[in-house]
Amino acid sequence: MPLSNQVKNQHLLWRAAFGPMAENVNQIGEVSQKELYHILLKTSSKEPNSLNVASNAIDGLIKGMEDLGKMQNLTKEQKQQFRKQSVDDIKNLNLTWLSEMINSEAQLREKMSLFWHGHFACRVINIYFQQQLLDVIRQNALGNFGDLLRGVSKSPAMLAFLNNQQNRKQHPNENFAREVMELFTMGRGNYTENDVKEGARAYTGWGFNLQGEFVDRPFLHDNGTKTFLGKTGNFDGDDAIDIILEQKATAKFITRKIYQYFVNEDIDNERIEFLAEKFYRSNYNLQKLMNDIFLSDWFFEEKNIGTRIKSPVELIVGVRRLIPMELVKPESQLLFQRVLGQVLFYPPNVAGWPGGKNWIDSSALMFRMRLPQILTNADQYTLRPKDDDDVMMGREGADIKPKPNQLQVNVDWDSVIKVFSDTPKEDLLQKVNEFVFQTKSSINPNVLKKYIDNTSREDFIKSTMIELMSTPEYQLC
């Protein structure tokens, strides 16, 4: 039985965006996949506004001074206060970006930005630097990969995180050079240890000033001849990036990672080779690569639909798009991210979140399946976040029981019920199932009916939606 237009378009919306919204879910089946994708492109074509939440830019300057070892004039209490303020502001940036993912028309851009946020994983407790890095990512998410790579590489956040501020002639620090090749561009096996050493020499002198601006410090740069990835010359950091981009291994590595994230973790090597070659010849045009994926017939093959485990952020955003709601205290979403294992701006390490089946363990799965009930009913819940002292600030391992009024939610059920206004009562169960699931499986109606509220048509729709979204099948897209 061929897949319906509705299923294919919902597949596109879950992969190229964060899932359908209740208000337009009925119109999804009325357009072709090509038309829908061009809508996503058009709504993501405008230049994004910067997400600026820092209470005061001085926070970034102070952290920059701390990195340079020039905070001796501040008291211990002042240093702690500056760090605390930056942590609080990063939480605000988290929630502001999460809201953008839920509500922005630029769904494709924000989805690509979330991908790059994990690819260019960076963890610094500095709101000023984190805002800058996110701005670089969102500005270039669908542009040219070379521009994106250069912008990220020159961001104070990444230079601080990978220790290039300390990379200087005669005392090179290899961390930055290694991670740029291993995790950001080519992957292991495509460079040697000598390339790491020579690359580090090329990046000597790259750093940032107290204003949070990139600076190339010539007096710290190694001007000697270097042999890097088969080329010899007096290379600097920009030269090193140019040489990395000349390597076809870079195009293949990025294409493979994008394919795994947006299409299927089960790699089709012939397809990767074809896409990577076109990506390389386009001079790393990211929009053209995404066009080649999302406009292809093979993207909509059954083997690619309903096979990917939603990340915690995708799950939270997807629930809130399908069931419109207002959280009186949005900060409760920070607790959800912690217990599910993905806190924006706090990747576990420079490799980012591993994804896939790593999202699922016994505690996370149980909470994932309760999330729709918690959000729609303000259900009582106790959280046990993943152990992580930087995120938990000394409270790792402790259960967190939110105060009774911490989760106040106003759900717009009218928008959801309106979706099914033309659906006969006997077809409601199947119709809701089609909207909620991307998998072929469906829940046994006889089992489901035991938990559905039949008091009224509205209660039937509400309870069916919540019960279906509280199943393992809903974890897949």
Domain residue limits, the chain = 5-43+248-304, 312-475
pLDDT for residue 468: 95
Q: Which residues contact 125 (CB under 8 A, 6 or more apart)?
A: 63, 83, 86, 87, 90, 390
d(CA 292, CA 278) in angstroms, rounded, equals: 9
pLDDT for residue 380: 59
Q: What is the pLDDT along the chain (477 residues), one digit of tens a residue?
A: 789 999 999 999 999 999 999 988 889 989 999 999 999 999 999 999 999 998 764 554 555 555 544 555 667 887 787 788 889 999 999 999 999 999 999 999 999 999 999 999 999 998 999 999 999 999 999 999 999 999 999 999 999 999 999 999 999 999 999 999 999 999 999 999 999 999 999 999 999 987 789 999 999 999 999 999 999 999 999 999 999 999 999 999 999 999 999 999 999 999 999 999 999 999 999 999 999 999 999 999 999 999 999 999 999 999 999 999 999 999 999 999 999 999 999 999 999 999 999 999 888 999 999 999 999 985 556 666 766 544 443 334 445 555 545 678 999 999 999 999 999 999 999 999 999 999 877 778 888 888 899 999 999 999 999 999 999 999 999
Residue 410 DSSP label: E
Burial class, 10, CB count within 10 angstroms (exposed 0-12 / middle 13-18 / buried 19+) = buried
Q: Is 227 helix (H, G, I), strand (E, B) or coil?
A: strand
d(CA 222, CA 147) in angstroms, rounded, equals: 24
pLDDT for residue 394: 34
Tell me, rounded to whole angstroms, the distance of Cα 91 from its chain centroid: 15
Instruction: At 46, list the tokens.
Output: 């405008």
Tell me, rounded to whole angstroms, the distance of Cα 51 from its chain centroid: 15
Amino acid at 356: G
Q: CB count, 10 Å around CB of 432?
A: 24
User: Are 258 and 268 spatial neighbours (Cβ–Cβ below 8 Å)?
Assistant: no
pLDDT for residue 70: 53
- How far is CA 14 from each of CA 45, 99, 232, 306, rounded to the nearest angstrom? 19, 17, 46, 9
pLDDT for residue 62: 56
- How far is CA 303 from each of CA 1, 10, 105, rounded to the nearest angstrom? 14, 15, 28
pLDDT for residue 395: 35
d(CA 388, CA 254) in angstroms, rounded, equals: 29
Confidence (pTM): 0.94
User: Are 185 and 176 spatial neighbours (Cβ–Cβ below 8 Å)?
Assistant: no
Helices of type H across 104-126: 107-119
Q: For residue 67, give the nearest of 195, 160, 180 by alpha carbon.
A: 160
User: Are 24 and 39 spatial neighbours (Cβ–Cβ below 8 Å)?
Assistant: no
User: Are 244 and 195 spatial neighbours (Cβ–Cβ below 8 Å)?
Assistant: no
Tell me, rounded to whole angstroms, the distance of Cα 50 from its chain centroid: 17
d(CA 133, CA 154) in angstroms, rounded, equals: 9
Residue whose entry in the numeric block shows the structure tokens 């290379």: 235
d(CA 205, CA 190) in angstroms, rounded, equals: 25
